[in-house]
Amino acid sequence: SQQGEEDPQALSIQEGENATMNCSYKTSINNLQWYRQNSGRGLVHLILIRSNEREKHSGRLRVTLDTSKKSSSLLITASRAADTASYFCATPPHAGGTSYGKLTFGQGTILTVHP
Amino acid sequence: GAVVSQHPSRVICKSGTSVKIECRSLDFQATTMFWYRQFPKQSLMLMATSNEGSKATYEQGVEKDKFLINHASLTLSTLTVTSAHPEDSSFYICSATERGYTDTQYFGPGTRLTVL
């Protein structure tokens, strides 16, 4: 089964609007990470939220984590055309409280920000 | 800091040939490197985990004889696609974790492989 499923699959907004993407996962986790991928490029690590955290901020990014619902959300405020990319959530395996780096990625949300 | 490079960025080859892709951590020692493949508009699928000085661990369904991985040093891992076929055409991405910091992976820019 897929660990880390996101919705929406695609999101199209105007510059200046906020963009919210959601991620659900199935097993218990130590942390959840969000990555951005520009078309045809590698991934850029955006933010990591640990299982004992509920919310985390980084610049225009706000991530929430609800372990009871096994879900996370990524909010990008005041979006810019340069935010156009695919966004993925990813989770490492939960094994005795230690994460081994191996990540399982969600299907991703394709965000398009129109200028 | 924490830069990972891949070479080549694009490669086109004929069916039946072998292709080697390099993944390097430029400014840190990578105890573990990961190889992913990504089909168009899809997510990343982990192929194998590579630890320096030991054999790679392959995910279920990935042919180890077809996708040879060598992690000869703390800064270099290579993926060789042997006897490539058109269905091997994909975007291959490597990532690396820094010694002592296993939570964050640093990704290379990817290699676009096209097999004719």
Q: What is chain A's Cα-based Rg?
A: 14
- The per-residue pLDDT for range B48-85, each reduced to its tens digit, is 998 887 889 999 999 999 999 998 888 999 999 999 99
A83 backbone dihedrals φ, ψ, rounded to 5°: -80, -10
Among B4, B43, B106, B112, the strongest candidate for a mutation testing the A interface, having the largest count of A CBs within 10 A, is: B43
A13 backbone dihedrals φ, ψ, rounded to 5°: -135, 170
Measured in angstroms, the CA of A68 and the nearest CA of chain B are apart by 22
Residue type, A83: D
How would residue A96 be classed by pLDDT, with cut points 50, 70 and 90?
very low
Helices (H), A47-101: none
pLDDT-wise least confident of A99-103, B65-69, B85-89, B96-100: A99-103
pLDDT of residue A99: 42
- Binning chain B into helix, strand and coil, the percentages to the nearest 5 are 5, 60, 40
Distance between CA A33 and CA A89 in Å, rounded? 6
Encoded tokens for B18: 């072998």
Helices (H), A50-90: none
Measured in angstroms, the CA of A115 and the nearest CA of chain B are apart by 23
Of the candidates A16, A33, A25, which has an alpha carbon nearest to the alpha carbon of residue A76? A16
Cβ-Cβ contacts under 8 Å between A and B: the total is: 56
Of the candidates B3, B21, B17, B18, which has an alpha carbon nearest to the alpha carbon of residue B111? B21
Taking contacts as CB-CB distances below 8 angstroms, the residues of chain B near A92 are: 103
